[in-house]
Structure 1
Amino acid sequence: MLTEKVHIAVPTAFFEDESINVQGTISHIKGLYKQGVKSVLVSGTTGEQHSLNLQEKIEIINGLELEEELISNMEIIFGVASIRQKEAEELAEKICHSKISGIMLGYPPYVIPTQQEALVYTERIIHLSNKPTILYNNPKRTGFDLSEKSIIQLSKNNLVVGIKDAGNKEKVERIKKGMHNVLYFYAGGEMDLEEKVLHGYDRLSSIAGNVLPTEISQWFKKMLMKQIVSKQESEKIENIMEQVYQGNAIVNLKKHINHKGIPMGGCRSPIGNI
């Protein structure tokens, strides 16, 4: 089971030639851990997942496995998705034999599987990973929208614990009425977060938490508990949001992390090529 209400979706570090920098990625995770962060999503939702090939993803897992303190004390979720099901299966098998806490299962971009094909893909990868699974529905990036019927069907699987970006208010309400097990609803990032919480989202896959994790986590938890957020807190959150979301969020995050002395590098072009 994944118990943390908030996880930080961390960027992937790259060298100047755009090759992967595993230690740079881990250095950032260590920095978050020292700030009290208990859960991170790696190779997930910062827009870089599909730029990583299978071997690079395996290198990241191998690097994390060597970090005994992190792997033992943090809830580390790993993003699993591929345009080819066979590569996603191979990654799932690798994760099954690791200490990774759970997976975030995304859908292939561009190819647009049918709902039935997506169900087969999902069940196969969950079976091979044998880890708690968050389904990741991101039609804007992939072109594929996991239907409420498919989500309800997948909720029969005891390893499916949540869904990220399920959809609008009406879709979330229909899923909640029909689902077989309790699912957590993860908001992807902080944009329109207050509205999403009102719609029934109860967990956060945080982007801005890479900058100020404690403040973002506290703000979200107050929102869930319907507690008043002070003017000072609101202003601080607005400032964070402006820093992160004005322009390209992943480019902004990497600039901020690099400025702190952590070797995050840039992005893989065309992202950040301006």
Structure 2
Amino acid sequence: MLTEKVHIAVPTAFFEDESLNVQGTISHIRNLYKQGVKSVLVSGTTGEQHSLNLHEKLEIINALEVEEELTSNMEIIFGVASIRQKEAEELAKSICYTKISGIMLGYPPYVIPTQEEAFIYTKRIMDLSNKPTILYNNPKRTGFDLSEKSVIQLSKIDLVVGIKDAGNKQKVEGIKNSIQREDFYFYAGGEVDLEQKVLQGYDRLSSIAGNVSPTEISQWFQKVLMEQKLSKQESERIENLMNQVYQGNAIVNLKRIVNHMGIPMGICRSPIGNI
């Protein structure tokens, strides 16, 4: 099972020609580990997942596998999604025999499967990966919205540990009232409106800003969960961090900040960052 309440959704590093920089990605994960981060999501979010082809994703998995210190001491979650189910299946097969802790299962963009098709897609990939699975519902990016009924149905599978960005308050309440498990979690995607999301029932965090200040974000989230007020100084620091990351394009901002830290995250793949 996945036990960490917070994981950092790490960007993927690219060279100036937009080719994959595997070691830059690993360097960033190592740096987070040195700062005490216990869980990361790789190739899962930050808007880059569907720019990576199957070969590139497999390269990252192979690189992670030789990082014994990281795989032994961190929960490494790997993003699995593809516009073609067969490619997602190949990725799931490769992950099955690794030390990767779990997967975040995204839905294909643009094609908009039916709920029944999405259920079969989900079940097939989970069967092949045999890893704890976070469902990733992101209708703004994909055009597909996993229904309340589908989430409840999928929650009956032991490997399903939760869902990222389930939806609005009414949908979260409906799911919570229908699921008979205490070990099913609701992950907030990023820190925007975090306090409101926690009030809606979200109890875990897939962090973006944690790439910059992981300790600060983790402490803030814990206080939000426990309904503790931040000091004026803490509030100012969080506000400043949110402005650094979310004012404009978050992934472009993140890469610029991490590059300035001396870690070679490089650029984004155009059209992102081409202004």
The answer, yes or no, to whether TM exceeds 0.5 is: yes
Structure 2 partner of 1:97: 97
In 2, Cα distance between the equivalents of 1:129 and 1:83? 18
Q: How does 1:46-61 map to 2 (within 5 A)?
A: 46-61=46-61
By how many angstroms is 1:58 displaced?
Answer: 0.4
Structure 1 partner of 2:220: 219
By how many angstroms is 1:180 displaced?
Answer: 3.8
Q: Is the 8 A contact 1:187 1:204 kept in 2?
A: yes
The sequence identity of aligned pairs, in percent, is 83
Q: Is the 8 A contact 1:251 1:267 kept in 2?
A: yes
One-letter code of the match for 1:139?
Answer: P
One-letter code of the match for 2:206?
Answer: S
Structure 2 partner of 1:177: 177
Structure 1 partner of 2:124: 124
Stretches (4+) displaced over 3 A: none
SS of the equivalent of 2:78 reads: strand
Q: How does 1:8-157 map to 2 (within 5 A)?
A: 8-157=8-157
Unpaired runs of at least 5, structure 2: none
In 2, Cα distance between the equivalents of 1:236 and 1:180? 39
Cα deviation, 1:23-54, whole Å, max 9, x if unaligned, reads 00000000000000000000011100000000
SS of the equivalent of 2:24 reads: helix
Cα deviation, 1:226-264, whole Å, max 9, x if unaligned, reads 112111111000000000000000000000000011110
SS of the equivalent of 1:104 reads: strand
One-letter code of the match for 1:149?
Answer: K
In 2, Cα distance between the equivalents of 1:135 and 1:74? 20
Count of matched residue pairs: 274
SS of the equivalent of 1:78 reads: strand
Q: Is the 8 A contact 1:158 1:181 kept in 2?
A: no
By how many angstroms is 1:109 displaced?
Answer: 0.1
TM-score by length of 2: 0.99
In 1, Cα distance between the equivalents of 2:97 and 2:8? 23
Structure 1 partner of 2:264: 263
In 2, Cα distance between the equivalents of 1:124 and 1:181? 22
By how many angstroms is 1:181 displaced?
Answer: 2.7
TM-score by length of 1: 0.99
In 2, Cα distance between the equivalents of 1:236 and 1:158? 40
Cα deviation, 1:174-207, whole Å, max 9, x if unaligned, reads 0011124331000000000000000110000000
Unpaired runs of at least 5, structure 1: none
